[in-house]
Structure 1
Amino acid sequence: MHILTLALLTSIAMPVAAAAAQTPEDPYLWLEDVSSPRAMEWVNARNAYSTKLLEADARYATLYEEALTIASAKDRIPGPSFTHGEIYNFWQDAQHLRGIWRKTSLADYKTAEPKWATVLDIDALGKAEGKSWVLKGTQCLRPEERLCLVSLSDGGEDAVEVREFDLATGQFVTGGFHLPRGKHRIAWEDKDHLLVATDWNPGELTQSGYPYIVKRLARGQAMTAAVEVYRGAQTDGGYGVSPGVLRDGQGRMLAYVERPLDTFHQQTFIITPAGAKRLAIPEKANLEELIDGRVIVRLNEAWPSAGAAFTAGSVAEMALAQVKAAPDSPKAKLVWAPGLRDSLSGISSTRDKLLISTLSNVQGRAYVYTAKPGGGWTSARLKLPDNLTVGFAATDDASNRAFVGTSGFLTPSTLYLTDTATGALEQVKAIAPKFDASQDVVEQLEATSSDGTKIPYFVVHRKDIAYDGTTPTLMTAYGGFQVSQTPNYSGTMGKLWLERGGAYVLANIRGGGEFGPAWHEAGLGTKRQIIYDDFAAVAKDLMARKITSPKKLGIQGGSNGGLLMGVEFTQHPELWGAVVIQVPLLDMIRISKIAAGASWQGEYGDVNADPKVMAFWQKLSPYHNLKPGVAYPEPFIFTTTKDDRVGPQHARKFAARMEEMGLHFLYYENTEGGHGAGADLKQAARTTALTMTYLQRKLMSEPKP
């Protein structure tokens, strides 16, 4: 296999010695200038080398075609949304790479081949306007849901332009609401008013680049005339202030603002005629739904003042009237509390029902809660298959209908329509199998981490594997931000990896939410080493069971999972035969200076304010802990130029430091795509094919002629 050598790269990029002259502390700060000619010349040279190498592999063309075929298949389940009395869906395929927003009736949606009507064609819009538009979301005004705010991103970045769209006319509203490019937070207050958080004047953003001022913008009003309703502080952490509006099926509403103090702590304010009033709920709590005049709250920490039963991970309710009258002293009642191995997955609602999805030992459950007159709730579990991921896909505010989906590693995704008032379930969609799973099996196993904690993980493999360490195995995890990793049907993973004899492992390490807030908090800040120990423990357990071995074990992760990959790469190079590092965080010393990195200090700690945090990351930061002369596996590093969330700077600098040390790597930076694999299906398929070609070159035998 060809490898990227220092001699090759110094012939096509600025010599290391010249770059180092800029700053002894960090010779690669120039790569943080995202679109500078110098930085892009560096990117293009490494892209050219890596893509030429991987695309010349005999496997690449087939892998690309398979990935694109699966991604653009017509028989995918079109994700539904109950909107304006019909079913809406956003759809991408080979003819609509950027996608179309379309609609049909519920009755027609339930048929095998619905007759869709296009509402908005993103490819055509981008072509007409000379923009690389990517649809980032729509928000329609309840209860009529005729007027919608459409968020458009140029190239896939998080920053968006917002335009008002009328579903009745199928056109953008002439003279309607329009917000220029920015990281906006928006909520409909009523037909003629929006609550908007944005940078109202140049520089009015937090250190992490998010808004901290909320104003009420009236229809036809210039943004300069909008009226302020809440102001946080420029020093606020997290993702910036966010306005929100809850509505129930009877027309009641509650407008509020969430002010993040860091990644996970926030203050909640109720918007009243007399101004914004602080709601006295825990700082790790979120307003979720409004049902029959009851405000539903997710608790990510205990609420002792509400009672001993209000533990972290619970769901509580408060009376809307009381919240409005006395936000400083709300009275709460318990709705749901987790058991020892339970965690809360999601909360949603129909017109009259509260819907709660949970995990029980990482197995999905779905429940319908009905408010009892005078207080309290009755609950019923929906009768769905066991051992799968379960979640509510869409709910109808005008009725008690909801779509609920199920998925498993070997079980194709299935969509049911349920009448939550009766519990009746009707299967309406199921994707055809995308790969042959007849010879595969799923196991849920446990590894023992460095502190003795049992770490569950799933392994998908052939039934007849030889337990001699020879099975090519791909392992992944996320390990952060209380994000749960659960079984999911991936046609791409099945076709491109499992069918070729590979095994797939999903590790439920700490930092995630699989077992509630405590599972997450066990690895916060300077306690984070335990997350990385968990991951390594799963790898060692796989080897102890002789499922795989270091030369046959590859790992893959993105974003925070990319940080996980970087740490495992530097701490345990002997355990891996391949490492895929995607849109990663890797420079944990300058994280607050890059893209939106300052918003995640609640997760990682603040190296600028806390010497203990600085000392911790100096020992773990992947960018700072690469060492010359170490036998690292050759990694595949992927990022995108348009990633304005994590930023491509981390990946670039990590690769440059490897290059400086004469270490081999492959690097690919897509020029679009935002914080993801690509801005359209072909870009995403190319990223998948490059990644899978790399993994198969490293872990599987050479292809037959």
Structure 2
Amino acid sequence: MTSTMTKTQPDATADDPFLWLEDRNGKEALDWVHRQNALTVAELQGDPSYQATFETALDLMTAEDNMPVGAALAGYVYNFWQDKTNALGLWRRTPVASYKAEKPQWETIIDFDQLSAKEGIKWVFGGASRLYPDFNRCLLYMSPDGGDASEMREFDIATKSFVEDGFRAPASKSGFSWLDKDTVLVSAAFGEEDKTQSGYPRVIKLWRRGTKLDDATPIFEGEKQHLAVSGGVEYDGDKRHVLLGKTLDFFTSHSFLRLDSGENRRIPLPDDATDTAIFKGQLVFGVRSPWTAPDGTQCLPDGLYSVDFDRWIDTGEFGPFKTVLAPAHRVSIAGLARTQDRLFINLMDNVRGKVIACDRTASGWSLKPVALPDNGNVGISHAEHFGSSVSFSFTDFLTPSSIIWSDDDGETLATVKSQPARFDASPYVSEQFEARSKDGTMIPYFVVRRRDQKGPVPALLYGYGGFEVPLLPGYAGIRGKLWLDKGNAYVQANIRGGGEFGPAWHQAALKGKRQNAFDDFAAVAEDVVKRGITTAAQLGIQGGSNG
């Protein structure tokens, strides 16, 4: 590969013969990528089993009995659906009772294949901002090419039509959210003066109905070197909070509350605050590094804390800080969600999911676990902000995904949807092991293989290790059908750089410590060989996006 790269690049320097690859949109770099892709495609498609394998994978990905996942709002469950007939997808809804039935009766809101055929553009649905309190009006995002830039149009769900002379903006990386029915918050990224160096919004503007987008009023700005700014509205009961933010980089930001006076008051949390929520007058938050609150409370990573937000709005000062959830060894926070009356904390306990339900009363915080299955990947599928419905997803390597639903804030649970099994899981076992990395850190990993395995078999080792994203157990029919069913093993490594054990696990593979992630991956590879699961010659490795 080295000789191919250097021979074809006359501008390569002696110091760095691959410097031309830094210009990722340059002709030389792209031509080289296309040549490597052609080699790979030829190798793959030259395999006699390629076509049958491809068609099996396609059938599984587009099966019409795939489980529809949705979120409840005002009596309906909304879902985006793609299959062989609807390649670009349907945005649709059904009443909650219908969703729980074996065959829901879906009402199509937008058919993107029909819209694309009508307008001659392959529109890719990018989501919608809904207008409180009836949620029928939307600011709809549609990408003309599937990229980051989306066109925005105002849409009426009740009439299933775009609003004539409604809000509309050309494709860009801008963001839009409702302030009220006649005013939109625009996180603008149109002209160069609106953009950060990263190409994301730098300015937030108020855009009033009936006026031109160019005439929108700026109310908030970030610096050119910041990653982005963003704005939106959050409701806590009947209280409306207009929140504005400057994202300095991937993991640090400054948050502001826009007061009725027009002042943008900074919320005095640390720059690396995370897992924030406003719930029953409390500002709930976590931290990525230790922080001493103004009252002396020690806030630690993987813990959750709260302070009286309503008091701060009135006085400009924080009162006493409270611990909602204390940190625990190898337990990290995967996310927060809230219904009208409950706050839910999604935890990972040694890479296995749990959910804690929290309530806030006059006497303080009360916590109790939600009675969900153990030893798998548990997530919060949706939480109805203005209601009491909440649903949870459950899966592991050998168990198809299911949706567990509650209409009463997690008290009563029922499995309402399950993904059909795509392969016979009975011959297989999922195990968790640990490997000792070069610096002595124990790295957990999962192995999925036949329970009657007698000797080494081909194994695929997958890792990620980036952006504080955890790599969790998950069912994959394609993996089972096309890999496990051939007698092979699958290995998933929870290397540093990811978010399996909170911010510290991520920070342990940043910048000068990046080598730790590669050492962790190598340690897992050596460990599966040592255990006799596979051999070096039979081990393949895979990763993507994060290098």
TM norm structure 1: 0.73
The answer for the alignment partner of 2:50 in structure 1 is 60
Q: Is structure 2 residue 220 aligned with structure 1 residue 233?
A: no
Task: Identify the residue that residue 224 of structure 1 maps to in structure 2.
Answer: 214
Structure 1 counterpart of 2:355: 366
Which residue of 2 is the match for residue 336 of structure 1? 325
Does structure 1 residue 265 correspond to structure 2 residue 252?
A: yes
Q: For the structure 1 residues 274 and 103, does the alpha-carbon distance in structure 2 shift closer, same or farther, using more than 3 Å as the test?
A: closer
What amino acid maps onto 1:365 in structure 2?
K
1:346 and 2:335 matched: yes
Structure having the larger proportion of residues in helix: 1
Counterpart position of 2:483:
497
Distance 1:44 1:66, change over 3 A: same
Q: Residue by residue, what CA displacement relative to the aligned partner does 1:347-386 show, whole Å, maximum 9, x if unpaired?
A: 00111111111011111111211111x2512222111111
Question: Taking structure 1 as reference, are residues 327 and 76 closer, same or farther at Cα in structure 2, changes over 3 Å only?
Answer: farther
Q: What SS does the aligned partner of 1:246 have? A: strand
Compare 532-541 and 133-142 and name the one that shifted more. 133-142
- Name the SS for the 2:171 alignment partner: strand
State which of 282, 294, 318 in structure 2 corresponds to 1:294: 282
Asked if the contact 1:349–1:395 (Cα under 8 Å) also holds between the matched residues in 2, the reply is: yes
Q: CA deviation at 1:185?
A: 2.8
Out of 380, 384, 387, which is 2:375 matched to? Answer: 387
In structure 2, the partner of 1:141 is 131
Deviation at 1:140, TM superposition (A): 1.3
Task: Name the CA shift for 1:126/1:445 in 2 (closer, same or farther; >3 Å).
Answer: same
**Structure 1 SS opposite 2:480:** helix
**Corresponding residue of 2:494:** 508
- Tell me the amino acid that sits aligned with residue 508 of structure 2: A
Q: Which has the higher contact order (CA 8 A, sep 6+)?
A: 1
Cα deviation for residue 187 of structure 1 reads 2.7
Change over 3 Å in CA distance of 1:43–1:541 after alignment to 2? closer
Partner of 2:459: 473
- Note closer, same or farther for the CA distance 1:46–1:453 as it changes in structure 2 (3 Å cut): closer
* Residues 1:131 and 2:129 are matched in the alignment: no
- Tell whether the 8 Å contact from 1:20 to 1:26 is kept in structure 2 after alignment: no
Check 1:47–1:516 CA distance in 2 against 1; reply closer, same or farther (3 A cut).
closer
Instruction: Tell me the CA shift for residue 199 of structure 1.
Output: 2.3
Q: CA deviation at 1:449?
A: 0.7
State the Cα distance separating 1:231 from its structure 2 match: 0.9
Instruction: Tell me the SS of whatever aligns to 2:159.
Output: coil
- Displacement of 1:299 in angstroms is 2.6
Counterpart code for 2:239: R
> 1:143, 1:397 within 8 Å by CA — same for their partners in 2?
no
Change (3 A) 1:428 1:66: same
Q: 1:173 to 1:481 in 2, by over 3 A?
A: same
Q: CA deviation at 1:438?
A: 1.0
Cα distance change of structure 1 residues 340 and 117 upon mapping to structure 2, 3 Å threshold:
same
| 1:253 is the counterpart of 2:243 | no
Equivalent in 314, 333, 349 of residue 325 of structure 1: 314
Match in the other structure for 2:543: 557
Kept after mapping to 2: 8 A contact 1:84/1:146 = no
Map 1:670-685; keep pairs closer than 5 Å.
none
**Cross-structure match for 2:515:** 529
Match of 1:79 among 32, 54, 69: 69
1:550 positional shift: 1.6
2:174 is equivalent to residue 188 of structure 1: no
8 Å CA contact 1:133–1:152 kept in 2: the answer is yes
User: Secondary structure of 1:493's partner?
Assistant: helix
Query: How do 1:633-648 and structure 2 match up within 5 A?
Result: none
Deviation, 1:27, is 6.3
Letter aligned with residue 143 of structure 2: S
Could you tell which deviates more after superposition, 293-302 or 39-48? Answer: 39-48
Letter in 1 for 2:70: P
TM-fit CA distance, 1:320? 3.2
Alignment of 1:16-165 (within 5 A): 19-21=9-11, 29=20, 32=23, 34=25, 45-165=35-155
**1:261 alignment partner, SS class:** strand
Instruction: Using the TM superposition, give the Cα deviation of residue 247 of structure 1 relative to its aligned residue in structure 2, in angstroms.
Output: 0.9
> How far apart in 2 are the matches of 1:181 and 1:450?
48
**1:309 touches 1:334 (CA, 8 Å); kept in 2?**
no
The verdict on how the C-alpha distance between 1:506 and 1:287 changes in structure 2, with shifts beyond 3 A counting, is closer
User: What displacement does 1:40 show?
Assistant: 6.3
The code of the aligned residue for 1:435 comes to F
Change (3 A) 1:50 1:450: closer
Rounded Cα–Cα distance in structure 2 between residues aligned with 1:32 and 1:462: 46
In 2 relative to 1, CA 334–189 (structure 1 residues): closer, same or farther, beyond 3 Å?
farther
Between the aligned residues of both structures, percent identity stands at 38
Q: Distance in 2 between matches of 1:258 and 1:338?
A: 27
Residue 598 of structure 1 aligns with which residue?
A: none
Secondary structure in structure 2 of the residue aligned to 1:230: strand
The structure 2 residue matched to 1:415, chosen from 403, 408, 412, is 403
Relative to structure 1, is the Cα distance of residues 330 and 64 closer, same or farther in structure 2, using a 3 angstrom cutoff?
Answer: farther
Q: Is the 8 A contact 1:310 1:337 kept in 2?
A: no
Measured against aligned partners, the alpha-carbon deviations of 1:37-59 in whole angstroms (never above 9, x if no partner) come to x7766655554443343223211
Is the 8 Å Cα contact of residues 189 and 199 (structure 2) preserved in structure 1?
no
Cα separation, 2, equivalents of 1:426 and 1:27:
56
Residue by residue over 1:646-677, the C-alpha shift from the partner in whole angstroms, topping out at 9 and shown as x without a partner, is xxxxxxxxxxxxxxxxxxxxxxxxxxxxxxxx
Partner of 2:163: 173
1:200–1:224 Cα contact (<8 Å) kept: no
1:655 alignment counterpart: none
Amino acid at match of 1:362: V
**Hey, what's the Cα distance between the residues in 2 that align with 1:344 and 1:215?**
33
Letter in 2 for 1:524: L
Structure 2 contact 370–410 (Cα < 8 Å) conserved: no
CA distance in 2, matches of 1:453, 1:145: 49
User: Which amino acid in 1 is paired with 2:271?
Assistant: E
- Structure number having the greater strand percentage: 2
Equivalents in 1 of 2:297, 2:262: separation in Å? 34
The alignment yields a C-alpha RMSD, in angstroms, of 2.3
Q: What is the CA distance between 1:333 and its match in structure 2?
A: 2.3
Q: Aligned residue for 2:433?
A: 445
User: 1:335·1:377 contact (CA, 8 Å) conserved in 2?
Assistant: yes
Shift of 1:277: 1.3
Q: 1:529 to 1:391 in 2, by over 3 A?
A: same
SS state of the match for residue 19, structure 1? coil
Cα deviation per residue 1:392-439 (whole Å; 9 max; x = unaligned)? 101222321111110100011111111344611011011121111111
Q: Measure how far apart 1:390 and its partner are.
A: 0.6
The structural deviation recorded for 1:150 is 1.6
User: Aligned partners of 1:436 and 1:424: how far apart in 2?
Assistant: 31
Q: Tell me the CA shift for residue 391 of structure 1.
A: 1.0
Q: Could you list the runs of 5+ residues in structure 2 that have no partner in the other structure?
A: none
How far is the alpha carbon of 1:32 from its aligned partner? 3.9
Name the stretch that deviates more: 73-82 or 300-309. Answer: 300-309
Letter in 1 for 2:332: S
1:72 partner amino acid: T
Q: Secondary structure at the match of 1:93?
A: coil
SS in structure 2 opposite 1:96? coil
Give the gaps of 5 or more residues in structure 1: 564-705
Which of 177, 184, 201 does residue 191 from structure 2 map onto?
201
> Structure 2: how far apart are the matches of 1:545 and 1:422?
42
What amino acid maps onto 1:172 in structure 2? Answer: F
Tell me which amino acid in the other structure corresponds to 1:314: G
- When normalised by structure 2's length, the TM-score is 0.93
- Amino acid paired to 1:452: G
